[in-house]
Structure 1
């Protein structure tokens, strides 16, 4: 799960900050500092669903803005998937929406 969380964060930050012609954002870039696998690993071990959702919502909010907000079709779909992640109340319930977000953001990129 930690890798999926990191991947969703990475794809979200790529949408928000990566510009064509510049170096791509990588997992070891400073912007990924609070969203690296080891950070998520700690939260997963603790079972801290709320903190995971908070961190994901930060990144997904940036991605939503980069997609033009909820007024645009891509933004509406991202918001729908983000809402499913926010409704999760256990670690197990995070898996399906997290996978859907990862696939969606990969397709968008």
Structure 2
């Protein structure tokens, strides 16, 4: 799960910050500092669903803003997927919405 959380963060931050003429954002970039796999690993080990959701929401919120908000077609779908992820109550309920979020962010890169 930690890898998928880190991937969602990476794709979100790529959408938000990566520019065409600049170098790509990588997993070891400074912007990824609070969203690296080991950070998520600690939260997963603790079972801290709320903290995981907050971290993902921070990144996805930046991506959503870049897409023009929830009123735009790409933003509307991203917002729906983020809402599904945010409404999960337990660690077991995070998996399916996390995969959907990851796949969508990958597709719109």
| Same fold at TM > 0.5 | yes
Matching of residues 2-81 of structure 1 within 5 Å: 2-81=2-81
RMSD value, Cα: 0.4
For residues 41-85 of structure 1, the C-alpha deviation after alignment (integer angstroms, 9 at most, x for no partner) is 000000000000000000000000011101110000000000000
Q: TM-score, normalised by structure 1?
A: 0.99
Matched, 1:106 2:106: yes
For residues 1-57 of structure 1, the C-alpha deviation after alignment (integer angstroms, 9 at most, x for no partner) is 000000000000000000001100000000000000000000000000000000000
Distance 1:13 1:67 in 2: 12
Distance 1:15 1:82 in 2: 15
Aligned to 1:90: 90
Higher helix proportion, which one? 1
- Look up the SS of the partner of 1:103 in the other structure: helix
Unaligned 5+ runs, structure 2 = none
Q: TM-score, normalised by structure 2?
A: 0.99
Distance 1:21 1:63 in 2: 19
